[in-house]
Structure 1
C-alpha cells in the first residue's frame, strides 16, 4: 500500500471569498475546477507539485442540497462560522492504491468508501457518515483515483509549490501511531503542544511572493 499526500483543502464560505483570499496571500488566481453534484459543493484547483494540488472548496448554492452531510465539515456550524470569518486550511488528503486495505488497517475511522465523480474524473473517497473533519482535520481523508494519470498533471501551474506539512498536536504519540498505521507518518512533521491545546495544521509553500505558511488556525504569512 503506497500512501502520498494528494491535496490540501481550503474551506471558504463562497468560492469568490476563497479565491480573493488566496490571491491576497499567494498573489495568484486559482482557476475554477468544477461541481460535485453528490456533495453539493464546487471548487477551484491549482497544481502545487508533481502529483499534488491545492483546492478551494465551498457549498454550491446553485444546486440542490445533498441528502447527506457535505464533506470537509461544510455543514458543521462551527466550521461554517470559522470559514465565514476567513477562509482557512481545513484538511489534508492522502491517496493510496488500495483504499479498502487502508480502511481496514487504520486506527482512526476513515468513514465509508464513497464513489465520487466530477466530469470525466472518478474516484473513491473515505467519508465519515456525518461529513465531519477527521480528528479535527489533523488526520487525513483518503482517496483512490481511478485515472491513468494523477489529476494534478492536468491542472494549472502558477509557480506555487508545496514544501511541507507540519501538524501541531497535544498528543503527538497518538497521532504518530495513527498515521503510521496508514503509512502517512513520513509525509508530515508532528510537533508537540501542551496537553489540551487546540491542534492545528501549517502548510509551507514557495510562491512568487516568497515563502508562505498556511495555517488551519489563521492566515497565510
Structure 2
C-alpha cells in the first residue's frame, strides 16, 4: 500500500480550511460532498501524487443513520490533522493484512469519483483513530486532477502510547520513510516543504 492523502477535520468545514491554509500558507481549492456520511470537503494538491483534504460534517446534509467516517460524530475542539489514508490496488485481497477492526469496507462516490474504503461500523479506526484508513480508487485518483500547490510532504509523525504495536501493524502494509511512529499521547503532525519554507500541520 502507498500513502494517498491526509485529512484535516474541523467542527465546521470553514474551521478545517482556515487551519490548513494558515499552516501551509496556500489556499485550498474546491471539493464536494459525501452523501453517504453527510460530510463535505475542500482539497489541495501536493507533490508526489498526494493531496490534502479539509473535511467536516455538512450541516445541510440529511440526518445520518450510521456513524460517520473518521470518527467525525465525536469530533470536538479545534481543527487539526486527524487522519491519513493509504491506497490499495486490491483492497479485498489485502484486507487480511489490516487489524480486524479495520476490515469492513464500504463503496463511496462523489461526483464522478468512486472508491472502496475501510470504515469501521462505529466510525473509529484502530489505535484511537490514528491507524490509516485504506481505499481503492475505482477511477483516476483526485491528486492527478488537482493543481499543484508547490507543497511536498517531508514527514508524517504519528504518536501513540502503544507505538510499538502500531508500528508492527503498519509494517504489514506500508514501507514509507516519511512516516514515523513515536510513543506519546495520540496525535499527528505533518512537516511540509512549501513555497514559504518548512511548515508544520498539526
Structure 2 counterpart of 1:150: 141
Structure 2 counterpart of 1:218: none
Whole-angstrom distance in 2 between the partners of 1:145 and 1:41: 19
Native 8 Å contact 1:47 1:54 kept in 2: yes
Q: CA deviation at 1:25?
A: 2.0
Size of the aligned set, in residue pairs, is 202
Structure 2 counterpart of 1:212: 199
Q: CA deviation at 1:204?
A: 0.8
Q: CA deviation at 1:49?
A: 2.0
Native 8 Å contact 1:115 1:123 kept in 2: yes
Q: CA deviation at 1:212?
A: 1.3
Q: CA deviation at 1:137?
A: 2.9
CA deviation digits over 1:28-63, x for unaligned, max 9? 210121010111000001111232110000111112
Q: CA deviation at 1:105?
A: 2.1
Q: TM-score, normalised by structure 2?
A: 0.92
Worse-superposed segment, 165-174 or 42-51? 165-174
Whole-angstrom distance in 2 between the partners of 1:106 and 1:24: 34
Q: Which runs of 5+ in 1 are unaligned?
A: 216-221
CA RMSD of the aligned region, Å?
Answer: 1.7
Structure 1 counterpart of 2:152: 161
Worse-superposed segment, 20-29 or 56-65? 20-29
CA deviation digits over 1:115-168, x for unaligned, max 9? 000000010001000111431232100000011x32201012221221121222
Structure 2 counterpart of 1:11: 9
